Structure 1
Amino acid sequence: MSAELRKIATFIETTYVEGGKAAGKPVTTVIVAAVIRNPWAGQGFVEDLRAEILASAPSLGETLTRQLTDLMPAEGVQAYGKAAVVGVNGEIEHASALIHTLRFGNVFRRAVEGTAFLSFTNTRVGPGALISVPMIHKSETGKRSHFITSTFQIADAPGPDEIVIAIGASDGGRVHPRIADRFQDMEEMANEQAST
């Protein structure tokens, strides 16, 4: 891996009860996060980020995907997402650069046979900040039951010259989904419009 890796942190959460009601099937989410040195740290404004994207994004995708699928087998993944947060000395563009490339995302997508885009967050934070990884169904983008978010924190990351890159997956949607899918809303609204 070209990126200078300090550590990898993993977070696993299984929900058995929600709203006082037991889950029909417990739902597990897994987050795998890499803490790397910001490759553009100390260089001032860098016009072209491409060299480091090409050098680091594919190997980051491979490392994180391998670790995640070791914890949650690829065939069990139903929803997925990603996040990148840069430390206070970096630009949000630095975090974005490493995850908003097909050279990163396609590694994860192919491994879990996903077709949907990877929902994401990218921002600037200090060490120990809460980091959110939003997820959607890996192939049915309107399936609101799988609009979920997993939140984690790493006490000492990102440092001022670091980036945290994370991917997340879930083996189900929310435990007790009770809202319609997006496509049902669209159909109902079209029918309402047609009847006016």
Structure 2
Amino acid sequence: MPAVVVRKFLVQVEEIFHEGGPPAARPLKRGAVVAVIANPFAGRYVEEITGFMDDLKPLGLDMARRLIDAIGDGASAIEGYGKGAIVGAAGELEHGALWHNPGGYAMRELLGNARAIVPSTKKVGGPGTRIDIPITHINASYVRSHFDAIEVGVTDAPRADEMAVILAMTTGARVHARVGGLAAADIKGEDGLR
């Protein structure tokens, strides 16, 4: 398959102290890393594209390390994650789906084989397109306090022949989470759901 050609990286980290209520004892950190890469399938229909997932695996690991480092508290501090992709206009939605495996497994590996499926989203759009990356708890998808999202976009990407692939992580629950449901402290860890 073709080589992965990166044009640029963007890393963003938010530190959230409160959402109008009392300040949190420990601020929530929520971050994302974006790699703007060439889309080797742009402008034409290619039947067999799955091999590119293997080519993307090293990028996924590199991006996950970059994000853990940017958040700054080590892999053990990460409690939530998500992923996504924005495909340039000369590509198709299926090209963004190639990021599912390399993006998700990279984070799960570096976070100690997290159990929950990594939530994902993707879309086709042009430069400046924004996307909300869904986030859930790394070990149990049903932990409501960790249902979150982070908006990501790059001013000049993706160009028509590019893709922006994205990983997102958080250090905990929403700052003022109080809607009940399964608590992180009560995770059984049997199935990635509870």
TM over 0.5: yes
Question: Who is 1:68 aligned against?
Answer: 67
Alpha-carbon offset, residue 45 of structure 1: 0.9
Deviation track 1:27-83 (CA, whole Å, cap 9, x = no partner) reads: 0011011000101123x111110222222x211211111211212311110000101
Distance in 1 separating the partners of 2:152 and 2:50: 29
Which sections of structure 2, spanning at least 5 residues, go unmatched? 184-194
Q: Is the 1:84–1:166 contact (alpha carbons within 8 Å) kept by the matching residues of 2?
A: yes
Deviation track 1:4-28 (CA, whole Å, cap 9, x = no partner) reads: 1000000110111212432232100
User: Tell me, what secondary structure is at the counterpart of 2:25?
Assistant: strand
User: Tell me, what secondary structure is at the counterpart of 1:85?
Assistant: strand
Write 1 or 2 for the structure with the bigger share of helix: 1
Which sections of structure 1, spanning at least 5 residues, go unmatched? 184-196
Tell me how large the CA RMSD over aligned residues is: 1.6
Distance in 2 separating the partners of 1:20 and 1:29: 18
Question: Who is 1:50 aligned against?
Answer: 50
Q: Is the 2:21–2:176 contact (alpha carbons within 8 Å) kept by the matching residues of 1?
A: no
Question: Who is 1:123 aligned against?
Answer: 123
Distance in 2 separating the partners of 1:107 and 1:153: 21
Matches within 5 A, 1:24-173: 24-42=25-43, 44-55=44-55, 57-72=56-71, 73-97=74-98, 99-101=99-101, 103-113=102-112, 114-173=114-173
Distance in 2 separating the partners of 1:41 and 1:130: 20
Give, as a single letter, the amino acid of the residue that structure 1 aligns with 2:76.
E
User: Tell me, what secondary structure is at the counterpart of 1:11?
Assistant: strand
Alpha-carbon offset, residue 149 of structure 1: 0.3
Larger Rg: 1
Give, as a single letter, the amino acid of the residue that structure 2 aligns with 1:36.
I
Question: Who is 1:7 aligned against?
Answer: 8
Question: What TM-score do the two structures reach when normalised by structure 1?
Answer: 0.86
Deviation track 1:111-162 (CA, whole Å, cap 9, x = no partner) reads: 1121111001111111112121111000021110000101122100111111
Give, as a single letter, the amino acid of the residue that structure 2 aligns with 1:174.
R
Number of residues of Structure 1 aligned to a counterpart in Structure 2: 179
Question: Who is 1:194 aligned against?
Answer: none
User: Identity rate of aligned residues, in percent?
Assistant: 33
User: Tell me, what secondary structure is at the counterpart of 1:31?
Assistant: strand
Give, as a single letter, the amino acid of the residue that structure 2 aligns with 1:48.
E
Q: Is the 1:2–1:59 contact (alpha carbons within 8 Å) kept by the matching residues of 2?
A: no
Alpha-carbon offset, residue 107 of structure 1: 1.9
Give, as a single letter, the amino acid of the residue that structure 2 aligns with 1:9.
L
Question: Who is 2:19 aligned against?
Answer: 18
